[in-house]
Chains A and B, each alone.
Chain A
């Protein structure tokens, strides 16, 4: 028995503590939206980037998904200026950048893992709250503000208060058709959008171990939606296999793996908070409100604000329902949709696209729905096209786009029109997030794909049989758009 058991978080934190309240940052990811003011700050104070070799930049938030080949060809003037600013800043300060035209460009939280620069045991930061994604590799990864971006650029360290720790243990096996997105949505629904505040959260248990790396990234990604500082999952064979052979992987891979194996939380290590969730009881989830904690099971109904149990208060729920134009008591499966978006740093990786493609193969998007698939990176896009997934989507009536943040946050031309209702695989259903007056329901890629076919949500656990039989009797009539 280890006399001094430590959590995975403890081990990484200790290794990176410098004293003076500082921690060392191994990898700093940069994008165009939250960095210009930080680079300006460096210039004003005549400072340099301390470790360009531990810094990596890409353009994602503003990037049109129409294959615009170069930053200077972006139509929107402010977007163009912001990406061009990133290019000139990276050039001036020697920071490696994958901008428009690069085969390695993509959403920052997709390309880090894809290039193998995201590795177990690291401290990773980025001026983006979804940096928690990288914790899926057993790294300590979290989002920071622009002042902190400047601090990391200048010093490769960060002033950090030691967070509290939480472990969420998922016992049992997930039912069929229930995945990582449902696990994390159900967890946020239970704990609330502030339920993980102040904590670094380790996801553990049988159901987490069984997840692919893509699924683990989905879970860690949405930790911030529960208010958590960072999400983490212990590295294992799946993690090592994912990193191996990637361009950024350690040269002495065997030695690195040996060190990574030591990161796992020791038996008997204590957490400030422990939560138990029975994974076998989970369902496909759909959000009904204006934050990710306003979520319910697909077989359920839109809740009555006055009768809600849990962290959402009645007044907030009533306002959310008014914004969402939903009546309490409406079955979730009767909610009609105008748009379907498959993409974002939460669900745009190859496995997500395969899962959605398997649902839509041989079927047609409902005539009332405009549906799009936006791969998370140019790398994901190439991989999907090699497998022919783009043809599957196109034949079903989906738009197949170039990579970027796209409709997750509407900083580029992909937005909802006022009043449009969207099933989205992204991470935030905040008011106006996908476009002013747009109504967002967060779901898994399979749920989004099935909703695109039917034009409303469906319970995918008992949907496919009916859909298949319908498909045999009524050959599809819609063409690809």
Chain B
């Protein structure tokens, strides 16, 4: 994963709450077995039906509870592939938020008021190191878990990091044998 530090540029706005991942990437595109090429299918129905227009800017500002519903990581791949580097919203669904951080798509939580301000400004600068969003209306600080921030700044592959503690996993498995039967024995 490439490191994330500063994301700066124009803002695209999707002024809707509870945008679910079925809208972000409709089910017919989940049959692909690759990780790439989902950008052209982003908000497929909404864009083709003329309900919304979206420019592939570095930043997307959206309504509360963004990314609700299905766990499909394809939603994150589609947003990133389309061109977004960050999504700013008052809140995100839990799974979408985690999926974003695994792909270097920075989820930024600020108040609805700041979201409106950033949307109106049309331009913003997000600094992950400082945890700030700087826009024409002011500078706002956002919260992000320290481990996640560190991993994004460093661009670390999480699996490699975990495999460094495989001794601890071995020890856990020795101390906690499975109670049920092995799935391979059924």
Contacts and interface: CB of A to CB of B under 8 A. Distances in A.
Interface of A: 15, 18-22, 24, 26-27, 33-34, 36-37, 40-41, 45, 47, 50, 52-56, 61-62, 76, 78-79, 81-82, 85, 94, 96, 115-117, 119, 121-122, 127-129, 143-148, 150-151, 154-157, 159, 161, 163, 193-194, 197-198, 224-225, 227, 229, 247-251, 256, 259, 291, 313, 316, 409-411, 428, 430-433, 436
Contact of B183 (A53, A119, A250, A430): A53
Nearest to B46: A431
Contacts of A248: 180-181, 183, 186
A145 B185 contact: no
Given A144-B95, A145-B95, A248-B186, 16 more contacts: A33-B30, A34-B73, A37-B34, A37-B35, A50-B169, A76-B31, A117-B181, A119-B179, A147-B73, A155-B163, A247-B186, A251-B181, A256-B179, A411-B30, A428-B20, A432-B22
A193 B65 contact: yes
B180 A411 contact: no
Closest 7 pairs between A and B when the two form their complex, measured CB to CB: A147-B102, A53-B182, A78-B31, A145-B99, A36-B33, A145-B73, A194-B65
A157 B70 CA distance: 22
A313 B98 contact: no
Contacts of B76: 145
Contacts of A193: 18, 65, 68
A194 B30 contact: no
B159 A94 contact: no
Interface string B115-151: 0000000000000000000000000000001010000
A433 B22 contact: yes
A36 B95 CA distance: 19
B56 interface: no
Given A18-B168, A159-B158, A194-B91, A430 B65 contact: no
Contacts of B35: 37, 40, 146
7 contacts: A18-B165, A24-B173, A37-B35, A81-B31, A144-B71, A409-B70, A433-B22
Interface in B146-186: 147, 158-159, 162-163, 165-166, 168-169, 172-173, 176, 178-186
A17 to B, nearest CB: 9
A247 B31 contact: no
B45 A85 contact: no
B93 A194 contact: yes
A100 to B, nearest CB: 16
Contacts, number: 202
B180 A145 contact: no
How many B residues are at the interface, by size bracket? Answer: 35 or more
B26 interface: yes
Contacts of B32: 78
Given A24-B176, A96-B184, A431 B169 contact: no
A82 B182 CA distance: 26
B16 interface: yes
A27 B162 CA distance: 18
Contacts of A409: 22, 27, 70
A250 B45 contact: no
Q: For B99, B166, B182, which residue has the most chain A Cβ atoms within 10 angstroms? A: B182
B26 A432 contact: yes
Given A18-B172, A227-B94, A259 B179 contact: yes
